[in-house]
Amino acid sequence: MAGTVALSFILFIAVTPMLALVAIAPAMPELGSDYLSFVWAITRFTLLQAGLSTLLSLALAIPLARALARQAMFPGRAIILRLLALPLALPALVVVLGIVEVWGRQGWVSTLLQTTGMSEPLNIYGLPGILIAHVFFNMALAARLLVASLEQIPPENWRLAAQLSFTSGHVFRHIEWPVIRSVLPGIASLVFMLCIASFAVVLVLGGGPRATTLEVAIYQSLRFDFDPPRAVLLALLQLSLCAGLFVLGGRMAADIAVMAGVGKPARRPDQHPSRFKDITVIAAGLSFIATPMLAIALSGIAAPFAAIVSQSVFWRALGTSLLLAFTAASLSLVMAWCLLAAQRTIMRRRQPSRAAAYLVSGMQASGSLILVVPPIVIGAGWFVVLHRTGMAAALAPVIVAVVNALMSLPFVLRILSPAVVGQAQVHDRLCASLGLSGLHRWRLIDLPVLARSFALAFALAAALSIGDLGAAALFGSTDFVTLPLLLLQKMGSYRSLEAAGIAIILAGFCLALIWSAEQLKPGARMS
Domain boundary among 262, 282, 301: 301
User: Is 260 in the same domain as 125?
Assistant: yes
In angstroms, the CA 266 to CA 382 distance is 56
| Residue 61's CATH number | 1.10.3720.10
User: Is 132 in the same domain as 218?
Assistant: yes
Residue 47 lies in a domain: no
Residue 164 lies in a domain: yes
Residue 153 lies in a domain: yes
SS3 content of the chain, % helix, strand, coil (to 5): 80, 0, 20
Domain boundary among 286, 301, 316: 301
Domain boundary among 301, 330, 353: 301
**96: which residues sit within 8 A by CB, 6+ positions away?**
133, 200, 201, 204, 205
User: Is 211 in the same domain as 230?
Assistant: yes
User: Is 149 in the same domain as 138?
Assistant: yes
Residue 35 lies in a domain: no
In angstroms, the CA 167 to CA 482 distance is 54
User: Is 453 in the same domain as 400?
Assistant: yes
User: Is 139 in the same domain as 168?
Assistant: yes
Q: Which of 297, 296, 95 is nearest to 200 (CA)?
A: 95
Domains of the chain: total: 2
User: Is 373 in the same domain as 280?
Assistant: no
User: Is 345 in the same domain as 440?
Assistant: yes
- The tens place of each residue's pLDDT in the chain, 527 residues long, gives 677 788 788 888 888 877 777 776 555 556 667 777 888 889 999 999 999 999 999 999 999 998 888 887 777 788 888 888 788 778 888 888 889 889 888 888 888 887 777 767 778 888 999 999 999 999 998 998 898 888 888 877 878 877 777 877 888 888 888 888 888 888 898 899 889 888 889 988 886 777 888 888 888 888 877 777 777 788 878 888 877 777 776 665 554 444 444 445 567 776 677 778 888 999 999 899 989 988 888 888 888 888 899 999 999 999 999 999 999 999 999 988 888 877 777 766 655 556 555 555 666 666 666 667 778 888 888 887 887 777 878 888 999 999 999 888 888 888 888 777 777 767 777 777 777 776 777 777 777 777 888 888 898 899 888 988 888 888 888 889 999 999 988 888 878 888 889 989 988 888 888 788 777 655 454 44
Q: Which of 342, 320, 244 is nearest to 476 (CA)?
A: 320
User: Is 297 in the same domain as 312?
Assistant: no
User: Is 310 in the same domain as 448?
Assistant: yes
Residue 481 lies in a domain: yes
Residue 499 lies in a domain: yes
**247: which residues sit within 8 A by CB, 6+ positions away?**
none
User: Is 227 in the same domain as 354?
Assistant: no
Could you list the residue range(s) of the whole structural domain that residue 425 is in? 1-30+302-527
User: Is 106 in the same domain as 153?
Assistant: yes
Q: Are 23 and 235 within 8 A, CB to CB? A: no
Residue 435 lies in a domain: yes
